[in-house]
Amino acid sequence: MWSEILVNLSLSMLGYYTILKVLPRLKEMFLKANISGTDLNKVEKVQIPEAAGVITSCIFLIIMFIFIPFPFGKQLLHKEWDFPHQEFVQFVAALLSICCMVLLGFADDVLNLRWRHKLLLPTIATLPLLMVYYVNYNSTTVIIPKPLRFLVGHDIDLGIFYYLYMGMLAVFCTNAINIYAGVNGLEVGQSIVIAASIILFNFIELNVDSRSNHLFSLFFMIPYFFTSLALLRFNWYPASVFVGDTFCYFSGMTIAVVAILGHFSKTALLFFIPQIINFIFSLPQLFHLLPCPRHRLPRLNPESGLLNPSVFQFKEKSLKPIGRLILKLYQLVGFVRIENAIDRDDDLSQSTNCTLINYAIKIIGPIHERDLVIRLLAFQYSSDILYMFYATVISILAVDFHVYPRRFVKTETFGYSLMDVGVGTYVFAHGLLGSSTCHSKGQWSKIFPIIGLGILRLLSVKSLDYHEHVSEYGVHWNFFFTLALIKGISAMLKLQVRPAVIATSILAFYEIVLKLGLQNWILSDYPRTDLVSSNREGVFSLFGYLALYYTSMEIGDYLKKPKTNFRDWIGLLIRLLALSFLSWNALPYFEAVFGLPSRRLANTTFCVWMVTYNLILLTCCLTSDLLLVTVDYRRKRTLSSEALNMKPLLREPYSMQFINRNGMLYFLLANLLTGLINLSFDTVNMNSYSSMTILVGYVALLSSSVAYLSASIYGY
């Protein structure tokens, strides 16, 4: 599996550099063929090559054609092995659908097709995909969520309607990206963020039973990510090429293909939240209930160099009744801004166009195009990780209900589980951020409150007779004590050696002691007669967590080295990527030598797993930062003094600000609500409908509390 991913990654990076070299040389060819357009949001109306997405899509297809033998190499070399014909046909059919969509997209760029054709094209391109799905699977049964099973049963066979749904998914994915466009870098940027989210999701799901589906998705998404990343270099503000409808169709079909054949179509839609919002918001204009200009992109103010919302003009009497109702509703909730008596005509009015881009400018105010795209992509990124964020919060309570998937719960002894990531990541984050202050006098002021929280939790659990898992940390121990001792020990030990040396020494000593019998004693049913034996899990796992803490300190010290130019940041990104890859591939070898990871023991394999997970996370975060906030200063642009002096008005959502600044308080609040619910209800024996009702109420109450605290503390 990993060898195929490595080959795929290598070919993808080769494709990235190929596009960087080839695309500049082909610009003139597009201009000579009159495949070009004018950037309406620039003062200088220069002809720019269009449909550059066809270059990216062709390089992507070449990569995939070269890669075809590698997933099936073992079966090709060993004739006695059964060849996976179904997987092979599925792979080829996916490429055929993407090829069809690229061809039809390029035809749209050249021939400027009508909207009804744009809805029909993805449906045609999906036919090979649906035929293969019919032959290989033909599974049209949908599992009903547990709270609704009392209405329609455990599952329902949709029959032909399931194929209709998959066809509509392809149509939506292709057109949703096409509609949510109009400013430099937005089409490619949103596609890259969606692809990165799918790649992260696939890696998380690689350890489950449906590994082959997510591996199939990775084989397509990794080359797509790198080829699109290269295109972004040329489409970023100020754009030297336009991607055209070819890229939008290519992107949408590629994502739809992996979502359908990877069997995570519902999850994939969660990564399209901004596109769904924009689509629903645009429906009145798309269905001509309101006037719909050909171009709804923002308009440039030549004097200030800033973008303003574009508008459409109308006479209220000429609107259909439902159109008037929708426009009044949009105005009431602040989605659009309406001005009356335009050009001294009392009957003529104008309204901002119904797109998410125009709405963002309405909220922010006039803004430069590059800054607008950065904020829209930041919103895309935030919305894509939002469901993962809420999944973490929900899991704190949901794990106590029987509706929660058992494969995600904490492991009792050994194994991999999503909920085991939390404590390890928390220790890693503290070491990462505390690397430069671990010996400062102010460190103790941060330790005593954590000890206080540990004592408070111990007293509340014992006094309320709250249900607890003794085998997790012990009778009296909890994670607050572990965290406080880690920070306290690191503050007292002023050793003149690198943190990595300390971490390695601790792990070596700890593993020797574990193998000599400590591991069997910790995991045994030995009576808990004294303080040490009663809390043996918490006491001895401290060694592993301390080693993890020092490892993250080493990484933190390296990350905090000053970077003087963009090349230094690229070098850091490459090193993080290399470290992530090496540690990921080393994990099976650590597992073979030291056994499966154990959160209960915090053994060496667990520490390596946590380092690997967080290195990948850091790599993704740094990649996002470099994509969203870096500027090519070699490109000249002229702005007015008004634009240069303008302050950024769009910030991250206030609730996210509160959570980022008060992470400990937020999770304490989540745990407090969890405790109150568990004391009030018999969550273990609760039916599915009641469980989901309580979970929805829990999330609503938690979100409301965060909003209230944000307003109280920060004055919003």
Q: Are residues 263 and 327 in the same domain?
A: no
Instruction: Say if residue 155 is in the same domain as residue 299.
Output: no
- Cα(43)–Cα(50) distance, rounded to whole angstroms? 19
User: Is residue 643 in a domain?
Assistant: no
The answer as to whether 191 is a domain residue is yes
Q: Which one of 271, 304, 334 terminates a domain?
A: 271
Domain range for residue 333? 287-364
Q: What per-residue confidence (pLDDT) applies to 462?
A: 79
Alpha-carbon distances, residue 693 vs 389, 540, 611, 677, 702 (angstroms) = 20, 40, 37, 12, 14
Please indicate, yes or no, whether residues 69 and 116 belong to a single structural domain of this protein. yes
Q: For the chain, state the CA radius of gyration.
A: 28
Task: Decide if 49 is inside a domain.
Answer: yes
The answer to whether residues 351 and 472 belong to one domain is: no
Note the pTM of the prediction, 2 decimals: 0.73
On whether residue 45 sits in a domain, the answer given is yes
What is the model's pLDDT at position 436? 47
Q: What is the pLDDT of residues 287-312, one digit of tens each?
A: 889 998 878 889 988 888 899 999 99
Buried b / exposed e over 394-408, threshold 16 CB at 10 Å, is: bbbbbbbbebbeeee
CA-based end-to-end distance of the chain: 50
- Give the Cα separation of 587 and 581 in Å (integer): 10
Below-70 pLDDT ranges, the chain: 1-2, 75-81, 115, 144-152, 207-210, 343-345, 384-392, 403, 405-408, 434-444, 467, 494-495, 624, 627-664, 707, 710-711, 713-716
Asked if 190 and 291 sit in the same domain, the reply is: no
| Tens digits of residue pLDDT in 226-268 | 999 999 989 988 888 999 889 999 999 999 999 988 888 888 8
239 and 326, same domain (yes or no): no
At residue 255, the pLDDT reads: 93
Q: Is 299 helix (H, G, I), strand (E, B) or coil?
A: strand
d(CA 506, CA 498): 13
Where does a domain end: 271, 302, 337? Answer: 271
Q: Does residue 458 sit in the same domain as residue 568?
A: yes
pLDDT digits (tens, 9 = 90+) for 71-105: 877 766 666 567 777 788 888 888 998 998 898 88
Tokens 């990104």, located at residue? 573
Question: Are 305 and 437 found together in one domain?
Answer: no
* Token pair in block for residue 517: 């019998």
Answer yes or no: do 231 and 301 share one domain.
no
Residue 646 lies in a domain: no
**554 neighbors 563 (Cβ within 8 angstroms):** no
- Total number of domains constituting the chain: 3
Residue 343 backbone zone (phi > 0: left; psi -120 to 50: alpha; other: beta):
left
Q: DSSP string spanning 327-355?
A: HHHHHHHTS--EE-SBTTBTTEEEEE-SS
User: Which pLDDT does position 424 carry in this prediction?
Assistant: 85
Contacts with 284 (C-beta within 8 Å, 6 or more apart), sequence order: 290, 323, 326, 327, 354
DSSP 578-636: HHHHHHHHHHHHHHHHH-S--TTTT-HHHHHHHHHHHHHHHHHHHHHHHHHH---TTS-
| 133 and 164 part of one domain | yes
Domain for residue 371, yes or no?
no
Domain end among 631, 651, 681: 631
Tell me whether residue 696 is in a domain: no
**pLDDT reported for residue 261:** 86
pLDDT of 513 reads 92
Same-domain check for residues 494 and 560: yes
CB-CB contact of 174 with 248 (8 Å): yes
Q: Tokens at residue 419, please?
A: 């909920």
Could you tell me if 87 and 233 lie in one domain?
Answer: yes
- The answer to whether residue 539 sits within a structural domain is yes
